[in-house]
C-alpha cells in the first residue's frame, strides 16, 4: 500500500486521461471521472462499440506523460501492460440497479446513459460482446491521479464479471411477449388502428402475463381511442408505477413516458384534476428532460376538461415559467403514440 502511494505521488502529474478520439480513433470523448460520488452495482449494458486494447501500442513511451512506464522494471512493466490488456467498450446502460453513494446519492444510477467502460482481461473478445447485452457489476474507480485500470482511459467505469445474456437480453417480459400469439395479433390490429380488436387481444395477453411495457402502453392507448379511459387506467398505472420504481428498461423508456403522459390525460378526461396534475407536476422537477410532455400538457385537448380547476391553473402558471427559462433542447419527442 505504501509503495503504491509513493508511486502515485511521484507520477501524479503524468497520469492524465487519454482523449478517446486520439487513443481509439472513432470513439468520441466520454466524461472524465470525479470522486464526488462513486457508483457500484448490477447493470445490464448493451455493447455498441468495442476495441481490444494493445497497451504496448496504446501508451507511446516517447511522450513525456507515459515515459514513467518505461522506467518500470521488466516485471513491473509487464504487470502494468497486462492490467490494461482488456476491452474498451462503448454502449448503453439498459437497466441499472447500481447505487451512487456520496454527494450525488442515487439509486438506479446511469440508467439509460451511453458510456465508455473497461472490461478487464478474462477471455471475452469483441466478437463475443459486440451488439450483445452484458449482465455485470459496474464499479466506478476514483481516477484523480491514479494509474490503475481504467484510469489511463477516458472513463472511470469497469464492468466486473460480465456475462453475455441470451436472446431477449434479460428482459423476460419482452421475451414472453414475442412468443405470445395474442400479443402478436394485438400488435397487428393496433398497427391497423383496429383498436377494439387490439384491446381484446392485449387483454388476453395480459391475463397470461404476456405483456411488456409497449404492450401495456398500446392497451391503454387503444382504450383511449375507444373513449374508454376508465378501462385504460390499470394498464397505464402499471407502467407508471414501473417507471417510478426505475424498473423500466432503457429501450422501453419512451413508451413508459408516453404511458405516464397518457395516464395524466385520462385522469383529466375523467375530470380528476388532482391525479392528473400530480403527474404533471413531476415533469417540472426536470423541465428540460420533460419539455415535450409539458408542452403537450398545456395544449392537449384532454386537459381542457380540467383547465378551470385550481390545481391545473397553478400547474399551468409554473409550467409556463419553466418554458421561459433558457436551456438546451435535450428531450426526445413525447408524442401520443
Q: What pLDDT shows up at residue 149? A: 85
Q: What is the pLDDT of residues 226-261, one digit of tens each?
A: 999 999 999 999 999 988 887 888 888 899 999 999
Give the closest residue to 252 by CA, choosing from 205, 310, 204, 212: 212
Ordered by start, the domain boundaries in the chain are 2-164, 172-324
β partners of residue 157: 140
pLDDT in tens, 62-88: 888 788 888 899 999 999 999 999 999
Cα atoms found within 13 Å of the Cα of residue 252, Cβ hemisphere only: 24
- pLDDT tens digits for range 6-40: 333 333 323 323 333 333 333 333 333 456 668 99
pLDDT confidence tier of residue 284, bands split at 50, 70 and 90: very high
pLDDT at residue 97 tops 50: yes
What rounded mean pLDDT belongs to the chain? Answer: 83
Of the pLDDT bands very low, low, confident and very high (cuts 50, 70, 90), residue 141 is confident
Q: Which one of 1.10.3730.10, 2.60.40.10, 1.25.40.10, 1.20.1240.10 gives the CATH number of domain 172-324?
A: 1.25.40.10
**Residues 106 and 95 sit within 8 Å (Cβ to Cβ):** no
Higher-pLDDT residue of 171 and 244 is: 244
Mean pLDDT calculated for residue range 95-101 = 87
CB 270 within 8 A of CB 230: yes
Pairing of strands 99-102, 37-52: antiparallel
Q: What is the distance between the alpha carbons of residues 46 and 30, in angstroms, rounded to a whole number? A: 16
Amino acid at each position: 500500500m505504501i509503495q503504491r502511494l509513493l508511486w502515485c505521488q511521484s507520477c501524479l502529474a503524468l497520469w492524465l486521461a487519454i482523449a478517446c478520439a486520439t487513443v481509439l480513433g472513432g470513439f468520441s470523448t466520454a466524461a472524465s471521472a470525479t470522486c464526488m460520488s462513486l457508483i457500484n452495482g448490477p447493470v445490464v449494458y448493451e455493447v455498441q462499440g468495442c476495441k481490444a486494447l494493445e497497451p504496448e501500442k496504446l501508451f507511446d513511451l516517447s511522450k513525456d506523460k507515459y515515459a514513467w512506464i518505461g522506467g518500470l522494471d521488466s516485471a513491473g512493466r509487464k504487470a502494468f501492460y497486462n492490467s490494461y490488456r482488456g476491452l474498451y467498450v462503448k454502449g448503453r446502460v439498459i437497466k441499472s440497479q447500481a447505487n451512487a453513494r456520496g454527494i450525488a446519492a442515487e439509486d438506479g444510477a446511469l440508467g439509460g446513459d451511453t458510456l465508455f467502460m473497461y472490461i478487464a482481461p478474462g477471455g471475452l473478445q469483441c466478437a463475443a460482446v459486440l451488439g450483445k447485452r452484458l449482465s455485470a457489476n459496474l464499479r466506478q474507480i476514483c481516477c484523480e491521479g491514479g494509474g490503475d485500470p481504467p484510469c489511463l482511459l477516458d472513463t472511470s467505469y469497469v464492468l466486473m464479471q460480465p456475462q453475455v445474456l441470451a436472446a431477449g437480453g434479460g428482459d423476460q417480459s419482452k421475451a414472453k411477449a414475442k412468443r405470445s400469439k395474442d400479443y402478436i395479433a394485438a400488435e397487428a390490429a393496433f398497427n391497423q388502428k383496429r383498436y377494439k380488436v387490439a384491446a381484446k387481444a392485449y387483454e388476453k395477453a395480459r391475463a397470461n402475463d404476456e405483456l411488456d411495457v409497449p404492450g401495456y402502453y398500446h392497451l391503454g392507448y387503444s382504450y383511449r381511442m375507444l373513449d374508454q379511459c376508465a378501462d385504460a387506467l390499470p394498464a397505464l398505472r402499471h407502467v407508471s408505477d414501473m417507471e417510478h420504481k426505475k424498473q423500466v428498461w432503457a429501450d422501453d423508456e419512451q413508451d413508459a413516458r408516453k404511458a405516464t403522459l397518457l395516464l395524466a390525460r385520462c385522469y383529466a378526461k375523467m375530470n380528476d384534476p388532482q391525479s392528473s396534475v400530480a403527474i404533471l407536476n413531476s415533469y417540472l422537477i426536470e423541465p428540460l428532460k420533460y419539455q415535450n410532455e409539458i408542452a403537450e400538457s398545456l395544449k392537449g385537448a384532454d386537459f381542457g376538461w380540467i383547465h378551470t380547476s385550481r390545481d391545473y391553473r397553478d400547474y399551468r402558471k409554473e409550467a409556463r415559467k419553466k418554458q421561459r427559462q433558457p436551456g438546451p433542447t435535450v428531450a426526445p419527442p413525447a408524442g401520443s403514440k
